[in-house]
Amino acid sequence: MGALSGRVAVVTGASRGIGKGTACVLAGHGATVYVTGRTVEEGRHELPGTLGATVAEVNARGGKGVAVPLDLEDDASIAALFDRVARDEGRLDILVNNAMAIPPAMTSRAGFWEKPLDEELQILDTGLRAVFAASWHAARIMVPQGSGLIASMSGYVGVTYTYDVAFGTAKSGVDRMMRDMGVELRGSGVTALSLWQGFTFTERATENLKKVEGMASQLNSAAGTSPEFPGRVIAALAQDPQLAAKNGGTFINAELAAEYGVTDIDGRTIPSLREERGAPIWRPV
């Protein structure tokens, strides 16, 4: 029996990258994981990875995977996901808000007014609006049961310019959203928090850094992590009996990893980039 056996998780954007890595880690601890994303068939996306492939690995890790195709710009689809979880599982223990659209314009060296408006709004719709919607639905399951963790992926971009305006706005908004949700969730048994991940060796990030001028050096960064590292931190949080003390806060994953004794998959201790890239604004409430 794993430490998270009997627990139910929803992970958005889990066809690949951090979402897939997190789903696999939670499964390795015995959780049932609802794997969501848009890529159902290989070859339909420029990057490798599908929901089915993630579910297969989740099952191989010892958990139970459930594939749910999900478009985060469709409110009805988000509602249907959580209705299904409530109906089929009767509980929800972990929500990981990971997914966000990364359109081509996001990494282009152009002013925000020169980029296609629909692409920039897609970043905000998926990276901010959908996070609120998913958290709203999750809280309606978690609060009555008196427990749960809503973990939203953010980054140093919350206080440091990276890529473009919409990206920074979405991530800083997520930090504030989790803080204010923490205020309203206080005493409910449900914890909302925001997690700052540094550079991660995902399929998308690796390709972006090859293309963006001056950023290729990060491909060999000692601070870079595997896509599973955030999941290792989230699994540790989910097992923390004092989790409520972190409610509403923004945390650097590397620092939480040090607190919990978590390393990356290769055994490395990941350094915090607080001094180089900035510190979180919001503390626990």
At residue 223, the pLDDT reads 77
How many other β-carbons are positioned within 10 Å of the β-carbon of residue 60? 12
Write the secondary structure of 160-177 as one string of H (helix), E (strand) and C (coil).
CCCCCHHHHHHHHHHHHH
Identify the three-state secondary structure at position 95.
strand
Say which residue the tokens 């997520």 belong to.
174
Which fold does the domain 8-277 belong to in CATH? Rossmann fold (3.40.50)
**What is d(CA 283, CA 285) in angstroms, rounded to the nearest whole number?**
6
Kindly report the backbone phi and psi dihedral angles of residue 216, in degrees, each rounded to the nearest multiple of 5, phi listed first.
-60, -25
* Separation in Å, CA 98 to CA 3, 13, 63, 109, 268: 22, 6, 20, 25, 23
**Structural contact between residues 13 and 35, judged by C-beta atoms closer than 8 angstroms:** no
At residue 56, the pLDDT reads 95
pLDDT per residue rounded down to tens, the chain (285 residues) = 799 999 999 999 999 899 999 999 999 999 999 999 987 765 566 666 789 999 999 999 999 999 999 999 999 999 999 999 999 999 999 999 999 998 888 888 899 999 999 999 999 999 999 999 999 999 999 999 999 999 999 999 999 998 899 999 999 999 999 999 999 999 999 999 999 998 888 766 666 666 655 555 555 566 789 999 999 999 999 999 999 999 999 999 999 999 999 999 999 999 999 999 999 999 999
In the chain, where the domains are located: 8-277
**What is d(CA 185, CA 64) in angstroms, rounded to the nearest whole number?**
29
